[in-house]
Amino acid sequence: MGQLYLWSAARGEWARCPRDEITWLDRDALSGGKDLALHRAPRCAGLRYVHHRWELFSRDTTHRVFLAAGDQSLSDQPISGQPISGQPISVEAVRRAAKHVLPVAAARYEAQAVPLDEGDWVLSIGAWIVRMRLEEPARPQAQPGPTGGQGQPTREGAATAVLGGGGSGRKASPPRPDAVTRVRAYFERNATARMAMAFYYREYILGLPAPQPVPMMDVVIGLNLSGEGAVSDLKKLLQGMIWSERGHARDLADFLLASALLTPADLDQARQAVAENERRGVCDQARQRLAYRPGRSAPR
């Protein structure tokens, strides 16, 4: 499980990026709020930890994002723009050496994310430069015995136990090779299911800090689904498509967003459908229908 750091000019040291929220590369982070040409969150580039990896994405509708390896060849260039660290790096040098270029995002869409590999990276947005470093934990060498021969479990073994569900010893299963294709085909056939998941994971798509799923009953009423368990059944169905097993509820949102199976466009469509259902009185009918409990006489 790697850890990503950004160079902080204010503190003169590397600052840790939290895994449980998006690190936005917005106007404040890049220029201290001075460059008004830069966007604010969530209409900018960002860094997030999804599907057990770090990735760079962009919702910036104005600037392209250039990502280059942070080797020493970049530090000999004259300064152009404002580097975040004290080392001289030019915007032109980063753009020439860029291994990935995220295009300008279309309105309400997100450019395809770029997974980050271990090592030093430099990215350029507009006239500004950001230094990053991704550190992967050292893998301990295999030793005889269940505890590595030292009487204590290794770090890798402890991480496996967490990913596998505590003390069960079961390793986290990787997604099926055709998982993205299967889910995309299902969503294309079933627009209601796609909108339900987009509305359910609304805060994740919007990139809110510490996002939480929308209450299932709100999704059921808003989209007039069959019953209280419709969202739960849909989540189980998707887990079966992706991992061929259940028990990955916490990984589901990460997979759907990281694979671009849920986008801001899907959320917009879901919101429009909910608003239309409210306008037509469908949501009120759904509330009355779901208020019925067995044992009561049905209203005439």
The pLDDT score that the predictor gives to residue 278 is 92
Let me know whether 76 and 22 are in one domain: yes
Strand partners, 100: 67
- What is the overall mean pLDDT for the chain? 78
Residue 256 lies in a domain: yes
The pLDDT score that the predictor gives to residue 170 is 42
The pLDDT score that the predictor gives to residue 10 is 63
Alpha-carbon distances, residue 250 vs 163, 172, 242, 300 (angstroms): 11, 12, 13, 43
Q: Provide CB contacts within 8 A for 253, sequence distance 6+.
A: 201, 204, 211, 213
The per-residue pLDDT for range 58-72, each reduced to its tens digit, is 988 889 999 998 865
Q: Which of 107, 135, 163 is at the close of a domain?
A: 135
DSSP 73-86: GGTTSPPBSEESSS
The pLDDT score that the predictor gives to residue 124 is 92
The pLDDT score that the predictor gives to residue 222 is 92
Strand partners, 130: 123
d(CA 16, CA 3): 7
Total number of domains in the chain: 2
The pLDDT score that the predictor gives to residue 156 is 34
Token pair, residue 268, equals 């917009």
Let me know whether 124 and 24 are in one domain: yes
Let me know whether 10 and 101 are in one domain: yes
Residue 111 lies in a domain: yes
The pLDDT score that the predictor gives to residue 108 is 59
- 8-state DSSP, 66: E
Let me know whether 50 and 103 are in one domain: yes
Residues of the chain above pLDDT 90, percent: 32
The pLDDT score that the predictor gives to residue 128 is 92
Residue 147 lies in a domain: no
The pLDDT score that the predictor gives to residue 238 is 92
Q: 242 pLDDT exceeds 80? A: yes
pLDDT band at 84 (very low <50, low <70, confident <90, very high): very low
Let me know whether 15 and 130 are in one domain: yes
Residue 241 lies in a domain: yes
The pLDDT score that the predictor gives to residue 146 is 47
Q: 239 pLDDT exceeds 70? A: yes
Let me know whether 103 and 190 are in one domain: no
> In a 3-state reduction of DSSP, which class is residue 216?
helix
Let me know whether 13 and 131 are in one domain: yes
> Would you say the C-alpha torsion 93, 94, 97, 101 has a positive or negative sign?
negative
> What domain range is 284 assigned to?
179-291
Least-confidence region, from 7-16, 29-38, 91-100, 290-299: 290-299
CATH of the domain at 119: 2.60.200.20
Contact between 47 and 17 under an 8 Å Cβ cutoff? The reply is yes
What is the CA 133 to chain-centroid distance, rounded? 19
The pLDDT score that the predictor gives to residue 297 is 45
CA neighbor of 125 nearest in space, from 163, 82, 159, 155: 82
pTM of the full structure: 0.47
Residue 193 lies in a domain: yes
Residue 159 lies in a domain: no
What is the CA 185 to chain-centroid distance, rounded? 21
Let me know whether 67 and 191 are in one domain: no
Q: Which of 100, 135, 170 is at the close of a domain?
A: 135
Let me know whether 13 and 81 are in one domain: yes
The per-residue pLDDT for range 172-227, each reduced to its tens digit, is 578 888 988 999 999 999 999 999 999 999 888 887 767 788 999 999 999 999 88
Let me know whether 49 and 128 are in one domain: yes
Residue 300 lies in a domain: no
Q: What is the residue whose two structure tokens read 């500004």?
A: 128
The per-residue pLDDT for range 126-164, each reduced to its tens digit, is 999 999 999 977 655 545 444 444 444 333 333 333 333
d(CA 218, CA 112): 30
pLDDT band at 246 (very low <50, low <70, confident <90, very high): confident
Cβ atoms within 10 Å of 233's Cβ, excluding its own: 12
Let me know whether 119 and 210 are in one domain: no
Residue 255 lies in a domain: yes
Let me know whether 212 and 119 are in one domain: no
Alpha helices in the chain (DSSP H): 27-31, 91-97, 155-163, 179-189, 191-200, 202-206, 216-223, 230-243, 249-258, 264-280, 282-291
Strand partners, 7: 14
